[in-house]
Amino acid sequence: MKCPDMPGFSFKLPAPVPFSFRLCLDYLSGSNSECLYAVHEDRIRRLVSLAGRDVLLEVSSKDDLELVVTALYGGPLNEAEQLEAAAYVTTWFDLNRDLDPFYRLASSDARLAGVVRNLNGLRLMGIPDLFEALCWAILGQQVNLAFAYTLKERLTSAYGDSVQWEGNVYRRFPTPEQMLAVSADELGALKLSRMKSATILEVAGLMAAGKLSREGLLAMDSFDAMEERLVSIRGIGPWTAHYVRMRCLGDPTAFPIGDVGLHNAVKNLLSMEKKPSLDMLREMFNSWQGWEAYATFYLWRTLY
């Protein structure tokens, strides 16, 4: 565990309109089991890797007009590191997204209008690191959310870096290189299934070898091509690929149609006795073409 040094370097990022930092924090505060960031009153702290070194970032916003990003540990940041931190926070909070088209679409749809009105300014919170995003989706396959969080905490505590700041420990998800030093048996001891262990180690090997990267995926000519690359990896199916398209690759059309949470949200929204069929979901989301990911994210948010 590393100790803090030279705290306090800050810079600002303009916030888009509409933007609600409070609603974003409310979403990020949704689980007491989250191990990769911590909300402290009106700000959030997260350990990230910048130029290969650990930096504890704190993000806050007093007026929803700008975000203040502070390097509590690992600062000051040089120009390249500041740009990297800005890109990370921009992806994390989806700051470059113009939500006006989505809100116009939703305002004319009785099913979504109330949901969007209550969540005005909420951004689709991203997972900027591809390895973390893939592993989180893999861990969540066919288990309840509570157990997925438990598995993530076990992996992070066992193999990720950490720093101590003001009496609290902040952890970073393991890198592909760190995971390559781990055996399938060791992952099994953490209660990962054989398939999940094998898939995570396969992804780690591909990323460590430079054969899979967020930059490489984003360089492809379409999100469908990105999905095709992801599902070519054993253990990654359409749900996992669409989740990663949605949370990491910035695809507003991502549609994890098989997601149980989405089924429950639609069931509740429409006061249905049974969960919707896949055909019904396809027809419903056809009205929201181009914004399937945001519609899904907002519907998820109605569950808690």
CB neighbour list of residue 232: distance below 8 Å, 6 or more residues apart:
none
Output the six-digit token pair for 75. 């600062």
- What's at 76, amino acid-wise? P
- Helix (H), strand (E) at residue 187: helix 184-189
Find where tokens 């639609």 sit. Answer: 266
Cis peptide before 276 (omega within 30 of 0): no
Output the six-digit token pair for 97. 């997204």
- Of the candidates 129, 161, 251, 259, the residue annotated as catalytic is 259
* 231-268 per-residue burial string, b: 16 or more CB within 10 A, e: under 16: eebebbeebbbbbbbbbbbbbbbbbbeebeebbbbbee
Backbone φ and ψ for 13, nearest 5 degrees, come out as -125, 135
Taking a C-beta distance cutoff of 8 angstroms, is the pair 123, 97 a contact?
Answer: yes
Altogether, the residues listed in the chain come to a count of 304
Catalytic annotation present for 259: yes
Q: What whole-number distance in Å separates Cα of residue 204 and Cα of residue 70?
A: 30
CA of 99: how far to CAs of 17, 19, 94, 222, in Å?
A: 8, 9, 10, 21
CA quadruple 46, 48, 54, 58: dihedral, nearest 10: -40
Q: Give the residue numbers marked as catalytic.
A: 259
